[in-house]
């Protein structure tokens, strides 16, 4: 079968696709930020006089100016000031927004602002932050944000722990004492920047009593909620629109720069554009670094008896999504294995660094590095093939590995076999070559709430409306395909409007790999209702027993003959006018009562060669397996999977944000290296396993993120097999690998 | 999006006009690949730029005595594609074809590359090994200086107030063997080793220190990679510690010697 | 010797003669986007390593984020908007569509302009040459494989068209 090209492809290759950054408004002001030059300090004052005398500068806005508003945001804990209030908590934090008639004046004005600081001691990593007597970043309590995150808490603090998770079942200590082997693995996962290529930006203005914001956000409805609270507006009075999003990967989940643009517009009464550069974006959101120790007890025949996990995330200066990332990291830390005894102790810790939030994988890459390497190391100890060791422990389809959660909706052992075959595992490899792989399962899909509307217009064409965003994942195409298939009309006659809190129905998020499954389900439900409505209307118009009237393939067929969908609409309304519509709703009920909506499987691996002189790692072959139940569009799915694995490879080999004191050493794309074409293996194999075992349309379930999750561990294992020593941290820079080789004597 | 700081632009059309204009505050500007980037980052804030691109006489590539003269406005791409360079200086052309990326090569000039004196410059290391000279003009007259003496430190050259580089002269040595090897896992090389040999051998270790470092010997086989690795000045950074970079120097010097047909 | 603060320039942009007065500190990307509405020109890293702002000036690729608008006087500037003829996509564009060589699309105009430059220099590049040519172009979505396929596909289409 030939699948259609992407519906957004032509606009994107012609330069006509509009991203948030491409929008301007009449009378729009530009802006530039004054950022903190200190890691932790009391704000002594902001002198804006010189800046205000720069030609073109309209206003210099500081945290103090926001007193009439609710001046913070944060969907879990509302601890994040729009502009620093009283003190700064990381170097790069927004202190003042300079608004001007053009971008040059804004820049010059920002340079002229003087800020006085009284330094406070900093805590730059979790060790410092957790030490006795460590200076506290936050001492006051804040409003709790989104109450659907039930673990959220907000009290005055006596330590720098932003969030804690304690998870356990069975009796870990007792099981460890019975184990024939206990294998312990400790790893460090690097601090990352997700680098979506469209930097953070937003355009805000107040019009007709509404706050209107165009932004590069994945979840416009959640941004709306934060903005409504800032300005005490009804949710109905905030309109957030996300046009094409220039890369998301979770880095554009939740509120980022929208409040800055909005307070600029509020303060000046004119439209204000906030447009960060790449460095500004790095200083806005990063991904959590993690230190993980995992101890596993095994019987001599390789059965997993217990896992004990200790996990610390460096969540930076503000909570943002850190608590949820910790929660997810904890859920994903013990692996998709049958395991009667589990204990996880997790802490997310405030430090004087750039706040971290979600990034593709959402805690899973951080913990899987430890948990999958631990399986490999155990295999070595147990003298069992690492593929076989996993096979003996992987949770079988239909069984629960996590009490209270959905039973496994995937055949992990079959996925593993596909992966190992693709990698050529078991065949002899040349000197200095190694193969590594991993298998993960993430509780994905987020909270299952989706709404979608489908309309049939009087010419029989269909219009979908959904709050989900198109950020490259292909939602526009996949969702249109589902509607085209359900209604039986050609894809060319299906249009879609997306991500506008005024014009499209509610969507919780475009994240957690949920769109095809959950929005797809909402669209499928809307289409079914719409077909029923067409039948009902046809019966009303033409008569006949309802059981003999059937709408499908663009036509309503009854005892009286055929009517096209368009004819039904026209006859009912009496002319070339009107429309029939239906709204499909997805809630946590029925098939979706049990969370997660689906397990997102990660199965990927890599074959590498290591330069024996320099330690440089050359990936030769990369294999991904997508266990997605049903692929709505296999070509797009493979693109997602390979892209995700590539990001995993970047973290494995190159990427790391590095601090020197309070200063980020490499907040730019020259010194923070992401993978390039040259870095990619010459052989890439992307396998799609379709077993119809998902809750979504046609048995589909989410994908596009899973293949990233095992890549760190897979690459580390491949390198270990090439050099004879287990790495304990990423990225595997040439120097680190060279040191491993020296230690192993190989 | 970032913004360039304010400056004023001068557009001389003759060398004499340009020489009158340049001083510490009025920076010469040609390709701008390094300069505009540094300005956008706020690292350099010249209040005036003197655009040399209107000076036609600085655009030539020509044979000059026993060498090739490459004008100050010649870009990496233009030089690498020029028949004279391809024919007479194939090794240099190969280096130029791997500088930065195609946009950097299409806009950036060799002379600008030397004048910026980025410590990790491929071009400086290669030109030093090839015995290149910088042609310099000032109101007082003209002088030439070996590239080796011109690049004296990070972002520092021997160019004096009121002087401009007008071109680069590279000697053509028909029996010369040449190799340039670099270790590059980030945007700029961690190490670049240039080596040239005929009746004598020059080996230049670039990128690991503050400036390219030159080692000479009668033949490639006389170079001692481990002694060179011990002696070079090394600056640790995100791409490697001092110990690792010394190790790399040894590896790459050995590879360069091998590439020249040496035995070690 | 005060120097210029603004300059009048007359570049030929996507085949059209254009006269503008621009501040000397204005970059080419700012001019194309803010003044001329050519939003196909994207800006990201601003350090000449990501390639999204690539346009061709007299056929040569430049990073328009760090290239002075003032330097385009009398020169030909080609952006991604200048490739298609009406509704008919340029063969490179069609190859990117057919090969799924894009996802979010933010890097796409830059890759397409770099491909145009490559195929003019080297009509049938092999994988190694393509990969080398893209050393200054980042894509965060695709893992590059489909982009490389699209370039080879486009080379084939252009070769057939030329013969």
What average pLDDT values come out for chain A (746 residues) when binned by 10 residues? 91 98 98 98 97 98 97 93 97 98 98 98 98 94 65 74 96 98 98 98 97 98 97 98 98 97 98 98 98 98 98 97 96 97 98 97 98 98 98 98 97 98 97 98 95 98 98 98 98 98 96 96 98 98 96 97 98 96 97 96 98 98 97 97 98 98 97 97 98 98 97 98 98 98 89
Asked whether residue C137 carries a pLDDT value surpassing 90, the answer given is yes
| Contact (Cβ atoms closer than 8 angstroms) between residue B58 and residue B72 | yes
**Is A102 an 8 Å CB contact of chain B?**
no
Per-residue pLDDT of B139-178, as tens digits, reads 999 999 999 999 999 999 999 999 999 999 999 998 999 9
pLDDT at A286: 98
**Is C143 an 8 Å CB contact of chain A?**
yes
Q: CA–CA separation, A527 vs A487, rounded Å?
A: 6
**Is A665 an 8 Å CB contact of chain B?**
yes
Closest chain C CA to residue A278: C45
How many Å lie between the alpha carbon of C72 and the closest alpha carbon of chain A?
20
Domains and CATH numbers, chain C: 6-82 (3.10.20.30), 91-162 (1.10.150.120)
DSSP character at residue A248: -
pLDDT at C84: 97
Q: In which band, very low, low, confident or very high, does the pLDDT at B264 lie, cut at 50, 70 and 90? A: very low
What architecture does CATH give domain A362-445+596-744? 2-Layer Sandwich (3.30)
Asked if ipTM goes beyond 0.90, one says yes
Rg over CA atoms, chain C: 16
Task: Tell me the two tokens of residue A144.
Answer: 């709790």
pLDDT at A146: 59
Across the interface, whether the CB atoms of A108 and B186 are under 8 A apart is answered no
Rg over CA atoms, chain B: 18
pLDDT at A481: 98
Q: What percent of chain A has pLDDT over 70?
A: 98
Task: Tell me the two tokens of residue B49.
Answer: 């730029």
Q: For residue B62, how many C-alpha atoms fall within 13 Å in the half-sphere facing its CB?
A: 8
CA distances from B226 to B195, B240, B254 (A): 16, 18, 9
pTM greater than 0.90: yes
Chain B residues inside the 8 Å CB shell of A739 = 244
pLDDT at A675: 98
Chain C residues inside the 8 Å CB shell of A474 = 103
How many Å lie between the alpha carbon of C123 and the closest alpha carbon of chain A?
19
**Is A198 an 8 Å CB contact of chain B?**
no
Across the interface, whether the CB atoms of A247 and C38 are under 8 A apart is answered no
Per-residue pLDDT of B56-110, as tens digits, reads 999 999 999 999 999 999 999 999 999 999 999 999 999 999 999 999 999 999 9
Q: CA–CA separation, A732 vs A686, rounded Å?
A: 24
Alpha helix stretches (DSSP H) within C50-122: 91-98, 108-121
Residue with tokens 């004499």: B16
CATH code for the structural domain at A9-122+211-275: 3.90.1170.50
How many Å lie between the alpha carbon of B264 and the closest alpha carbon of chain C?
30
Q: CA–CA separation, A223 vs A607, rounded Å?
A: 42
- Chain C adjacent subunits, 3+ CB pairs under 8 A: A, B
pLDDT at C163: 57
Chain B residues inside the 8 Å CB shell of C67 = 32, 36, 107
With a CB cutoff of 8 Å and minimum separation 6, the contacts of A421 are: none
Closest chain B CA to residue C54: B103
Task: Tell me the two tokens of residue C92.
Answer: 């490179």
Chain B residues inside the 8 Å CB shell of C24 = 7-9, 49
Q: In which band, very low, low, confident or very high, does the pLDDT at B25 lie, cut at 50, 70 and 90? A: confident
Q: CA–CA separation, A220 vs A222, rounded Å?
A: 5
Q: CA–CA separation, A568 vs A220, rounded Å?
A: 35
Across the interface, whether the CB atoms of C132 and A678 are under 8 A apart is answered yes
Task: Tell me the two tokens of residue A366.
Answer: 């951080």
CATH code for the structural domain at A450-592: 3.30.365.10
Strand partners, A356: A286
Q: For residue A274, how many C-alpha atoms fall within 13 Å in the half-sphere facing its CB?
A: 29
Chain B residues within 8 A (CB-CB) of chain A? 1-3, 5-6, 41, 183, 185-188, 238-241, 244, 247-248, 251
Domain ranges of chain A: 9-122+211-275, 362-445+596-744, 450-592
pLDDT at B186: 84
């Amino acid at each position: 079968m030939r699948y259609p090209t992407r519906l957004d492809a032509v606009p994107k290759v012609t330069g006509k696709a509009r991203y948030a950054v491409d929008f301007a408004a009449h009378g729009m002001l530009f802006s530039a930020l004054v950022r903190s030059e200190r890691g932790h300090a009391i704000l002594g004052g902001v002198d804006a006089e010189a800046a205000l005398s720069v030609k073109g500068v309209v206003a210099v806005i500081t945290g103090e100016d926001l007193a009439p508003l609710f001046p913070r945001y944060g969907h879990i804990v509302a601890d994040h000031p729009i502009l620093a209030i009283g003190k700064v908590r990381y170097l790069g934090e927004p202190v003042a927004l300079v608004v001007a008639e053009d971008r040059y004046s804004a820049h010059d004005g920002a340079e002229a602002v003087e800020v006085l600081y009284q330094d406070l001691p900093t805590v730059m990593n979790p060790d410092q932050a957790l030490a006795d007597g460590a200076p506290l970043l936050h001492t006051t309590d804040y409003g709790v944000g989104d109450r659907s995150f039930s673990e959220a808490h907000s009290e005055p603090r006596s330590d720098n722990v932003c969030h804690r998770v304690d998870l356990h079942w069975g009796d870990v200590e007792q099981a460890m004492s019975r184990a024939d082997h206990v294998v312990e693995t400790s790893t460090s996962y690097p601090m990352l920047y997700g680098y979506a290529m469209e930097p953070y930006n937003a355009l805000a203005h107040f019009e007709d009593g509404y706050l209107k914001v165009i932004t590069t956000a994945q979840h416009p409805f959640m941004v709306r909620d934060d903005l409504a609270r800032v300005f005490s507006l009804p949710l109905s009075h905030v309109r957030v629109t996300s046009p094409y999003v220039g890369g998301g990967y979770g880095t554009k989940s939740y509120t980022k720069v929208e409040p800055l643009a909005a307070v600029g517009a509020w303060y000046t009464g004119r439209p204000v554009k906030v447009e960060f550069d790449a460095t500004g974006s790095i200083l806005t959101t990063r991904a959590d670094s993690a230190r993980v120790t995992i101890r596993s007890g095994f019987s001599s025949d390789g059965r997993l008896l217990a896992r004990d996990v200790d996990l610390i995330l460096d969540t930076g200066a503000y909570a943002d999504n850190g608590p949820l990332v910790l929660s997810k990291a904890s859920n994903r830390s013990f692996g998709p294995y049958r395991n009667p005894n589990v204990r996880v102790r997790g802490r997310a810790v405030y430090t004087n660094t750039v706040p971290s939030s979600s990034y593709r994988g959402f805690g899973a890459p951080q913990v899987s590095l430890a948990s999958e390497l631990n399986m490999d190391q155990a295999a070595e100890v147990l003298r069992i093939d690492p593929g076989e060791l996993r096979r003996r422990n992987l949770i079988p389809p239909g069984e629960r590995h996590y009490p209270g959660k959905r039973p496994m909706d995937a055949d992990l052992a079959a996925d593993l076999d596909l992966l190992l075959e693709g990698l050529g595992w078991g065949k002899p490899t040349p000197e200095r070559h190694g193969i590594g792989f991993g298998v993960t399962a993430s509780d994905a899909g987020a909270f299952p709430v989706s709404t979608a509307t489908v309309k049939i217009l009087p010419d029989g064409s269909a219009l979908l409306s959904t709050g989900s965003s198109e950020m490259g994942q292909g939602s526009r195409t996949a969702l249109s395909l589902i509607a085209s298939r359900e209604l039986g009309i050609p894809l060319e006659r299906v249009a879609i409007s997306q991500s506008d809190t005024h014009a499209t129905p509610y969507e919780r998020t475009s994240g957690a790999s949920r769109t095809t499954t959950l929005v797809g389900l909402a669209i499928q439900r809307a289409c079914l209702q719409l077909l029923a409505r067409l039948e009902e209307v046809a019966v009303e118009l033409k008569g006949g027993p309802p059981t003999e009237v059937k709408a499908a393939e663009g036509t309503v067929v009854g005892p009286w003959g055929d009517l096209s969908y368009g004819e039904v609409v026209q006859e009912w309304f009496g002319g070339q006018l009107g429309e029939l519509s239906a709204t499909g709703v997805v809630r946590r009920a029925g098939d979706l009562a049990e969370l997660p909506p689906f397990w997102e499987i990660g199965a990927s691996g890599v074959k590498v060669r290591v330069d024996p002189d320099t330690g440089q790692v050359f990936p030769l072959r990369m294999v991904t397996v997508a266990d997605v139940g049903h692929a709505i569009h296999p070509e797009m799915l493979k693109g997602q999977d390979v892209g995700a694995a590539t990001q995993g490879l970047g973290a494995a080999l190159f990427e790391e944000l590095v601090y020197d004191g309070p200063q980020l050493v490499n907040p730019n794309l020259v010194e923070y290296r992401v993978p390039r074409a040259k870095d990619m293996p010459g052989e890439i194999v992307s396998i799609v396993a379709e077993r119809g075992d998902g809750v979504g349309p046609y048995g589909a379930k989410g994908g596009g993120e899973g293949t990233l999750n095992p890549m760190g561990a897979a690459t580390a294992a491949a390198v270990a097999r090439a050099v004879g020593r287990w790495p304990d941290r990423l990225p595997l820079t040439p120097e680190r690998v060279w040191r491993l080789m020296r230690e192993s004597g190989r | 999006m970032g913004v360039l700081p304010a400056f004023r632009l001068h557009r001389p059309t003759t060398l004499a006009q340009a020489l009158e204009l340049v001083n510490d505050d009025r920076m010469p500007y040609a390709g701008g690949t390094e300069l505009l980037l540094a300005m956008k980052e706020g690292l350099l804030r010249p209040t005036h730029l003197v655009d040399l691109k209107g000076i036609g006489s600085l655009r030539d590539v020509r044979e000059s005595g026993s060498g090739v003269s490459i004008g100050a406005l010649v870009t990496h791409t233009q030089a690498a594609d020029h028949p004279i360079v391809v024919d007479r200086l194939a090794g240099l052309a190969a280096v130029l074809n791997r500088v930065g990326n195609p946009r950097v090569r299409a806009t950036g000039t060799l002379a600008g590359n030397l004048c910026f004196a980025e410590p990790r410059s491929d071009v400086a290391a290669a030109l030093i090994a090839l015995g290149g000279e910088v042609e310099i003009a000032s109101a007082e007259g003209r002088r030439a200086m070996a590239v080796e003496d011109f690049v004296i430190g990070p972002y520092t050259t021997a160019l004096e107030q009121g002087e401009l580089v007008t071109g680069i002269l590279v000697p053509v040595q028909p029996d010369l063997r040449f190799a340039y090897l670099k270790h590059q896992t980030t945007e700029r090389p961690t190490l670049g080793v240039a080596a040239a040999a005929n009746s004598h051998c020059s080996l230049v270790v670039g990128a690991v220190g503050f400036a390219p470092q030159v080692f000479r010997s009668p033949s490639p086989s006389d170079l001692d990679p481990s002694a060179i690795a011990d002696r070079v000045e090394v600056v640790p950074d995100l791409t490697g510690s001092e110990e690792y970079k010394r190790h790399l120097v040894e590896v790459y010097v050995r590879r360069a010697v091998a590439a020249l047909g040496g035995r070690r | 010797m005060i120097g210029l603060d603004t300059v009048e320039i007359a570049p030929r942009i996507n085949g059209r003669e254009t006269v503008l007065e621009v501040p000397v500190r204005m970059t080419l990307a700012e001019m194309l986007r803010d003044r001329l509405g050519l939003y196909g020109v994207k800006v990201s890293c601003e350090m000449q390593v990501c390639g999204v702002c690539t346009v061709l000036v007299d056929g040569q690729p430049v990073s328009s984020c760090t290239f002075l608008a003032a330097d385009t006087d009398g020169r030909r500037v080609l952006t991604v908007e200048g490739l298609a003829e009406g509704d008919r996509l340029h063969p490179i564009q069609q190859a990117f569509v057919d090969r799924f060589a894009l996802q979010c699309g933010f890097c796409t105009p830059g890759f397409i302009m770099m491909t145009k430059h490559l195929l003019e220099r080297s009509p049938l590049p092999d994988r190694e040459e393509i990969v080398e040519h893209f050393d200054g172009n980042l894509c965060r979505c695709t893992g590059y494989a489909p982009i490389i396929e699209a370039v080879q596909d486009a080379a084939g289409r252009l070769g057939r068209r030329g013969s």
